[in-house]
Structures are given as structure tokens and as C-alpha cells.
Structure 1
């Protein structure tokens, strides 16, 4: 059986239940090394449930990416166009959380179907980059249009957008440079854990300020201007501080690669 695009449709075995698929995904879960707490302990599990459902429905990873984008950008557009209130904050939070969970599902669905594709990885990163940038720009628009605050607070979402974009770019660039260095040496260095290396819970907790999932959750405070502004600003400060510290570490890692180290 083929999909309309002509690609072979890949689905579960006849005797595999939804629960069996979820268990199979859990056993093949990627390492949690480097992932902040919400993304690691909550979002990946939610993504697993959506990936298994997509597998049984015959969806493709790119299809899941498109659905994820629809939820995320629906919330982002509401943020810029509707006056803040409690109901809006809850709605935006739900849309962003669902979008993020589906974002974790596309890669897991690809593994269920036998592996991902360059096209899928490219699409996933492009959507993520657009989502991260537009979210903070729409916070800026909301502040400007609807909030009675000092204009200096507008610098917070501007700074947050810069930090988020640089952090995302650094993550992708670091992975690519490490991979290229490994290919040149005939090895394959990786940012993921080895089977014997258990990801640190402490590291995941320390990365909470950088957690996109936590950022999604604070929009539930949108109806309380002071609380949201405080939480959003603290997230920005934490993310900026982490980026500054991580940049020093990353620069040292790149110097090690230049010297031929691992």
C-alpha cells in the first residue's frame, strides 16, 4: 500500500497494539543527556504517545512536523493578536505544549518507520528555528500593543529572541562540527550518551532556564501581567547566563578538536 506521494506506507505488525508500540519506543528512546528537565522527563514521554498514535494511523514524520507547526503557530499568532487574559493564557499554553510534544514525536515516528531522512531533519530544524524566533517577537508585539509597562521592558523579548536564536544555532553548529571532526579522524564523536553513561538529573535541572517546555508553561500566567513579566524575565536572565557560561565551554571543546582531542 502506498501513500498519495507514492512512498511505501509503513505501519505496525498486525499483532502489535498501541501499548506494544509505546513500549517498543520506550526501549529505543534516545539518551536524555543534555536535555533540560521538562523536555527530558515530560515532553519526550508525551511525544512517544503521539508517535505511536501516528504510527498506527499511518502518518509520516513530516506530517507530524506539519501538525506540530500548526499547533505552535496558532498559539503564537493568538499571542500577538488577542488581548492577554486568563483564558487566552491557558489556550496558548495548551497549543504550545501540544506543538512541542508533537515536535518530539516526529523523530520517534521516524525511528519506528526504520529511520529518518535528511529532508525530515531539515524541515524539523527550520520549523524549530522559525518557532523560537517568532514566539519572542510576538511577546514583544503583545507587550507593545496591550501592556501598560515601561518601554524599557520591551528590551526583554528582544534580548530573549537573540539569546534563543544564538543558542539554537550553537547547538546545531556544535553537533555538525563534532561530527565533521569525527569523520576526518575516522571516528564518530557524538553528543549523546554511551549505553554505560547515565544522563545526569542534576544537569537536566540546571538547564531548566533554557527549557522551551517550561517557557510554554509560563504563558498560563498571561492573565496576571506582573507574574508573567517576572517569570518571563527570569527565564530570559537564566537563558542568557547559561548561554554565556556554555559559550566558554563550547569554545574549549572546539579548541580540543583543533588539537585532535576528543
Structure 2
């Protein structure tokens, strides 16, 4: 008599989420919202996409569509509480999907160079376009003086683009010189305090600042605070990065 082994139970979405939780990339330096909120949302979305048979590139494309919708709302819709909430939700959903594509790639056994290229290109586009959308929205609405306030999103656009480029460049140079390999599952627990201190540089939290568009003065105050904090962070980071990259070749 032949004994047939019992079939292996099908993995549930909850099982997949738990499996992803044990294979996260390092959280060192990640701001609090991105680390504790967005990454968790990304795990859930990645698990759902995995069971639905989606590819990482499809998730990236949907992420880009949500983000583009949020940017269009910021640029074209009159400022108000409804506009701000809609823009924030679209941008936050896009950000969660952005976290999910890489996690989905790990579930499927690893990503492709083309997928990584697409992900970085979408990130680069939204990094600058977000602040250009704010600029267009402020100009069209006439709710603020068209002089000095319009310089803020222009400056923010430059700072955000340089910060994104510097982060990607650092990773590429370190990998080229064998200093750092691709992000590995988290070993140990990175500082929670540091994650909280760099919150003003967090793109995910910035997405929700637009909820304040119904009160333009409050929104501009918060937006300027985020801009100033990010600019200071970039200045300090550049000093640190230059020293670190200088030590790669000895």
C-alpha cells in the first residue's frame, strides 16, 4: 500500500506578511514614518500582490499612477481641505506601493536590473515633480504673495533632487569599491531615536502635510519647516558622505 504525503498547506496572505517581516532590508537611517508605517503597509501590499500574481514592475507602475494623480491634484485643483486630503491619500498610497515593489521582488526570488532602473527613475521623477507641483499650485491659487513664497518650492526641488542623487551615488560608489553590498536583512535594531530625529526629512510624512492646504498659512509654515530641516540634513550629510567616500580608496 502506497502512502501519499499530505499536501503542503497553501501560504496565506498573513503567512506571507510574516515571512516578509523576517527578511527586511536594513532600517539604519530610515525616518520614522518610512520605517514604522510605510514599510509595514508595503509588506501588506507586497503580500497581496504576490498572491494576485502581480509583478514588481506592475506595482511600480501603479505606484507611479497614484503619485501622478496626487501631483496633478496639487498643481491643478484649488487649495482646500478636500484637495489636501485627496492629494495626501494619493501620494501616501503611491509611497506604500513604492515600498511594496522591492518587497515583492524579494518574495519572487529577487529583482531585475530593469526593475531596479524603473523604480529609481520613478523615484527621481517624483522627488522633483512634487515640489514643482506645489509651485504651480501656489502660483495658480494666488493665496500667497507670488514673490518670496514661490522660492521655497524651487529651493526644495533642488535640495530634494540633490539628496536623492547623493544617496543613490553613495550606494553605487560603496558597492563598486566593495565597502557595502546590497541591503541585507536587518541585523540588530537601528536607533529609534535617530529615526525620530530625521522625521522632517521623511517623504512619507511630507505626503500628509498637504492635508493642511485648507489653511494656507499653516501649510506654508509646515512646508517651510520641512524644507529647512531637509536642507540642514543635506548639508551635514554631504560633509559626512565626502569623508566616507574619501576613505574608500587608501
TM-score per shorter chain, which class? over 0.9
Match of 2:116 in 1: 121
Match of 2:226 in 1: 235
Superposition deviation, residue 198 in structure 1: 2.4
Work out whether residues 26 and 187 of structure 2, in 8 Å CA contact, stay in contact via their aligned partners in 1: no
Are residues 103 and 195 of structure 1, via their aligned partners in 2, closer, same or farther at CA, if it must alter by over 3 Å? closer
Please tell me whether residue 156 in structure 1 is matched to residue 152 in structure 2.
yes
Q: 1:110 is matched with which residue: 99, 105, 114?
A: 105
Are residues 23 and 85 of structure 1, via their aligned partners in 2, closer, same or farther at CA, if it must alter by over 3 Å? same
Aligned length: 242
Q: 1:250 is matched with which residue: 230, 233, 241?
A: 241
Match of 1:173 in 2: 169
Work out whether residues 33 and 192 of structure 1, in 8 Å CA contact, stay in contact via their aligned partners in 2: no
Alpha-carbon distance in structure 1 between the residues aligned to 2:59 and 2:136: 29
Superposition deviation, residue 148 in structure 1: 2.8
Work out whether residues 140 and 154 of structure 1, in 8 Å CA contact, stay in contact via their aligned partners in 2: yes
Match of 2:64 in 1: 69
Alpha-carbon distance in structure 2 between the residues aligned to 1:221 and 1:190: 40
Match of 1:4 in 2: none
Match of 2:3 in 1: none
Alpha-carbon distance in structure 1 between the residues aligned to 2:188 and 2:239: 24
Work out whether residues 221 and 228 of structure 1, in 8 Å CA contact, stay in contact via their aligned partners in 2: yes
1:38-74 Cα shifts (integer Å, max 9, x gaps):
0000000000000000000000000000000010100
Please tell me whether residue 60 in structure 1 is matched to residue 29 in structure 2.
no
Alpha-carbon distance in structure 1 between the residues aligned to 2:115 and 2:60: 8
1:145-192 Cα shifts (integer Å, max 9, x gaps):
10332211111000000000000000000000000011xxxxx52485
Match of 1:201 in 2: 192
Match of 2:77 in 1: 82
1:123-165 Cα shifts (integer Å, max 9, x gaps):
0000000011111001001111103322111110000000000
Alpha-carbon distance in structure 1 between the residues aligned to 2:15 and 2:187: 26
Please tell me whether residue 29 in structure 1 is matched to residue 20 in structure 2.
no
Alpha-carbon distance in structure 1 between the residues aligned to 2:79 and 2:43: 32
What are structure 1's unaligned runs of at least 5 residues? 1-12, 183-187
1:84-141 Cα shifts (integer Å, max 9, x gaps):
1101111111101100000000000000000011000000000000011111001001
Are residues 112 and 35 of structure 1, via their aligned partners in 2, closer, same or farther at CA, if it must alter by over 3 Å? same
TM-score by length of 1: 0.89
Alpha-carbon distance in structure 2 between the residues aligned to 1:200 and 1:118: 31
Please tell me whether residue 46 in structure 1 is matched to residue 41 in structure 2.
yes
